[in-house]
Amino acid sequence: MNLEHIKKTDPVVAEQIELELKRQQETIELIASENCTSLAVMEAAGSVLTNKYAEGKPHKRYYNGCEHIDVIEEICQKRACELFGMDHANVQPHSGAQANMAVFMATMKPGDRVLSMDLSNGGHLSHGSPVNFSGMYFDVKSYGINEYGEIDYEDVRKMALEHKPKLIICGASNYSKIIDFKKFREIADEVGALLLADIAHIAGLVAAGLHPSPAPYCDFVTTTTHKSLRGPRGGIIMCKEEYAQAIDKAVFPGMQGGPLEHIIAAKAVALLEASKPEFKDYAAQIIKNAKALAQGLMDEGLDIVGGMTENHLMTLDLRKTGKTGKDMANVLEVVGITANKNTVPNDPQSPFVTSGIRLGTPAVTTRGFKEEDMTEVAKIIAGAIYASDNEQALKNLRERSMKLCKKHPLYAE
């Protein structure tokens, strides 16, 4: 990667960028919400578009000089609608959480009731956590998962009938099963609720046709662009045409000012990449790799919440090992694997400690890992957990993870 200008201007920051590149190259990235963009996406994100203010919508800007910006943003909107089968797209949200905030602003008033998945069971902070805007300003009721790690749709229906929410949210940050959007639509219709699908984690799988689409059933679909979709860090809101004006107003001026047009260009590039046949092959390999990892971990005697995964992620349940998610995530980092601590259902530990580790395969699949590589990764993870206090054993495991990193180089050109 060429950093010649940064090195001249700010060698301190340049050094940290180079060190971060080295860390990524020498680490097996299993954080489920991370991925490695193409160089084309990075070029767009680092382009001259960062210089331009463009408050408003295409052809309705508050600044002059937006003729090229308008074309790029419209391309991005069109690609999002075509890829996900929705009527309207607003590509300006800076993040998935802000995309969700805009839907809240467009559809509800403070105090209105929401039904969403509990954070500790796999939901997301912006779906109603009491420390987030969604939980601070709205009356949130939460559903969870059953002993099999699955959503109990009849339980969701009973809660909807009891609480009569104005908005129901389906989608999660840590759910390893297929989401039945049709059942959620039926529940929403029964109680007269609007339906939001947050597909931030599974967007790439949906785009590739490897997970059922929410488009036929949901009033709103939000997503990040940087997880399985493999784009820049940002968010998108898609909706039925009847809600387009309300969503656009909620984004600007309701929620944020000038959009990041360089990031919108990078989103457009990523959406084009996701429409290609090669991306479908990539998404299929994500699932194959996740299944291989889950099976490998279970073969090593470890527990996976809900058993076999059906998408790109899983949660390793450490309770029977006597280890915590916090400690084992740190141990995994020692052996060259990055993952994040995560709660498990009915977790006896606090959210700051946890009894689980969330694992995902989008980033390693981008690097070219295949099923046999994931089996080796599972053995390294299990070895690190079982020998977490053995310095020599951890050193040997680090050598094995480095061998995999060298086998599948990142940004080698």
The CATH number for 205's domain is 3.40.640.10
Tally helices (H) and strands (E) across the chain: 16, 15
The CATH number for 295's domain is 3.90.1150.10
Residues 290 and 399 in one domain: yes
- The CA-atom distances, in angstroms, between 143 and each of 117, 155, 194 are 5, 8, 17
Q: How many domains does the chain have?
A: 2
Question: What pLDDT is attached to residue 413?
Answer: 64
Residues 322 and 256 in one domain: no
> What residues are labeled active site?
53, 55, 198, 224, 227, 233
> Among residues 255, 274, 293, which one ends one of the domains?
274
Helix axis angle, 391-407 to 371-386, nearest 10°: 160
What residues contact 391, with CB distance under 8 A and at least 6 apart?
Answer: none
CB atoms within 10 A of CB 34: 17
Mean pLDDT in order along the chain per 10 residues (413 residues): 94 97 98 97 97 97 97 98 98 97 97 95 92 95 92 97 98 96 98 98 98 98 98 98 98 96 98 98 98 98 96 97 98 98 92 96 98 98 97 98 98 80
Would you say residue 37 lies in a domain? no
Residues 241 and 263 in one domain: yes
Residues 332 and 391 in one domain: yes
Q: What's the domain range around 361?
A: 4-30+284-407
Strand partners for 139: 113
Would you say residue 10 lies in a domain? yes
* pTM beyond 0.85, yes or no: yes
> Dihedral angle at the C-alpha atoms of 255, 217, 279, 71, nearest 10 degrees?
-40
Positive or negative: CA dihedral 128, 131, 133, 137: positive
* DSSP 3-state of 342: strand
What residues contact 184, with CB distance under 8 A and at least 6 apart?
Answer: 153, 156, 168, 170, 195, 197, 217, 218
Would you say residue 178 lies in a domain? yes
Question: What pLDDT is attached to residue 120?
Answer: 85
Residues 202 and 339 in one domain: no
Question: What pLDDT is attached to residue 289?
Answer: 98
